[in-house]
Structure 1
Amino acid sequence: MNSMQAVDLTSVTRHYAHGVTALDDVSIGFGAGTFTAVMGPSGSGKSTLLQCAAGLDRPSSGRVVVDGRDLATLGDRKLTLLRRDRIGFVFQSFNLLPSLTAAQNVALPLRLAGRRPDSQQVRRSLASVGLAERMHHRPAELSGGQQQRVAIARALVTRPAVLFADEPTGALDTGTSREVLRLMRDLVDRQSQTIIMVTHDPVAASYADRVVFLADGRVYGELQDPDAGQVATRMLQLEASC
């Protein structure tokens, strides 16, 4: 496990209109090659943390460094390039184009970047999620879990420094969720992929190396090598105190 920080937030605050403070002086690092789950009650700032860390939203104050780049020093074009080349995204909805095959969906980020997709690169990305043999199937011919794995392969095809996942198992049944979570755990263990995942599910969080808890826009502690019971107990305590 690498001790370097893939993502580092220092004194990050994010204000919105009407006096809403979504993040309040948050300082936290995410080590390269680690799997972190971010949890907290509704309105705790989880999504804002993810958006600021991924360069999708600019903080009102503070510093965000991703893959050694200070996002505040990047103009819109350079920030777009960084997100395209060094950051991967997986969401609850798979966001696959129904008319394209699995391979074509995975190749899409390369095409959008004006690069000619390398068929071997696309195949390797699908193989990394166990779907090389389904590369010519369209989304309608795949299960929900397989569609999410295609979405993960698409996020990984540019070999990003960080993979951000926002409720990646939220639309899946229990068995399929575990399948996707085992895959994500394997990506960290075998390929040293850095993953930061927002989730509300204590079982999903138990696949991570650590869980960071947010409430009212602030960090309220963390758990290392968590189990689902510990996470659930901490969440109950956090919700009771809010």
Structure 2
Amino acid sequence: MKSTQAVELTEVTKHYAHGVTALDDVTIGFGLGTFTAVMGPSGSGKSTLLQCAAGLDRPSSGRVVVDGRDLATLGDRKLTLLRRDRIGFVFQSFNLLPSLTAEQNVALPLRLAGRRPDRELVRRSLAAVGLAERGRHRPAEMSGGQQQRVAIARALVTRPAVLFADEPTGALDAGTSREVLRLMRDLVDGQAQTIIMVTHDPIAASYADRVVFLADGRFYGELHDPTAELVATRMLQLEAASC
């Protein structure tokens, strides 16, 4: 029977040097076609959770399954291929190449994979983020919000099973942030895209179906159908408890 989870972490622990435990026995699943925000105080393990879930870092113990593949069973080459073909990444910095047009930036993952870019696929990816008419523009000719949408289109061009977003609106103003968050919400509702987003912003988290909270590397509960007010209240409680 096919799993309903796009990503599953089971008893995941991650130790770093000098006795630092970034994740401590975390078990959590992320359903197919859902939008999850991951939140917690500074040092709570949010980024480590994303890195382990996306196969960017290996846990010290525990099991991570992405798109039905147990990452512990994959060698470096197969893990690289999984990340390239089935996982998309969006970060706070857009990481667009300034000398390339929007179309060329979106096509880059296909070229790096040794595939000849399908121009229609690239154009559809840009159209999906509302930039069908900006394909020939370079990053300097676009606003910050448009650049982030190009970065999202680039992440979607390989049709990933999961899109990981690390503070995707952190460098944007409030109005532009709302545009990007509405786009991500539409991708989930309209295309059943699975999105896992690390954020510190309760307003950003309110666009998700569910908010997962971490503190001191441990799972500290969740909210479904969150509002910004409920998320902010929960964060204040967590921050007070971790002081």
* Pair in the same fold by TM > 0.5: yes
Q: Where in structure 1 are there 5+ consecutive unaligned residues?
A: none
Instruction: Give TM-score scaled by structure 1 length.
Output: 0.99
Give SS of 1:130's match.
Answer: coil
Give SS of 1:132's match.
Answer: coil
RMSD: 1.4
Please tell me whether the aligned partners of residues 215 and 242 of structure 2 are also in contact (alpha carbons under 8 angstroms).
no
Please tell me whether the aligned partners of residues 12 and 24 of structure 2 are also in contact (alpha carbons under 8 angstroms).
yes
Please tell me whether the aligned partners of residues 87 and 164 of structure 2 are also in contact (alpha carbons under 8 angstroms).
yes
Give SS of 2:136's match.
Answer: coil
Q: Deviation of residue 171 (structure 1)?
A: 0.0
Per-residue displacement from partner, 1:191-235 (whole Å, max 9, x unpaired)?
A: 000000000000000000000000000000000000000000000
Per-residue displacement from partner, 1:84-140 (whole Å, max 9, x unpaired)?
A: 000000000000000000000000000000000000000000000000100000000
Please tell me whether the aligned partners of residues 211 and 223 of structure 2 are also in contact (alpha carbons under 8 angstroms).
yes
2: CA distance, partners of 1:122 / 1:4:
29
Q: Where in structure 2 are there 5+ consecutive unaligned residues?
A: none
Q: Deviation of residue 3 (structure 1)?
A: 7.4
2: CA distance, partners of 1:2 / 1:172:
38
Please tell me whether the aligned partners of residues 2 and 33 of structure 1 are also in contact (alpha carbons under 8 angstroms).
no
2: CA distance, partners of 1:114 / 1:5:
30
Please tell me whether the aligned partners of residues 125 and 153 of structure 2 are also in contact (alpha carbons under 8 angstroms).
yes
Q: Runs of 4+ in structure 1 displaced over 4 angstroms?
A: none
Q: Which one is further off, 151-160 or 232-241?
A: 232-241
1: CA distance, partners of 2:242 / 2:16:
24
How many corresponding residue pairs? 242
Query: Closer, same or farther in 2 for the Cα pair 1:210/1:229, shift >3 Å?
Result: same
Q: Which one is further off, 12-21 or 232-241?
A: 232-241
What pairs up with 1:4-23 in 2 under 5 angstroms? 4-23=4-23
Q: Deviation of residue 30 (structure 1)?
A: 0.1
Equivalent position of 2:57 in the other structure: 57
Q: Deviation of residue 2 (structure 1)?
A: 11
2: CA distance, partners of 1:8 / 1:59:
13
Please tell me whether the aligned partners of residues 215 and 238 of structure 1 are also in contact (alpha carbons under 8 angstroms).
yes
Instruction: Give TM-score scaled by structure 2 length.
Output: 0.98
Q: Deviation of residue 241 (structure 1)?
A: 4.1
1: CA distance, partners of 2:158 / 2:126:
12
Equivalent position of 2:69 in the other structure: 69
Give SS of 1:125's match.
Answer: helix
Please tell me whether the aligned partners of residues 3 and 68 of structure 2 are also in contact (alpha carbons under 8 angstroms).
no
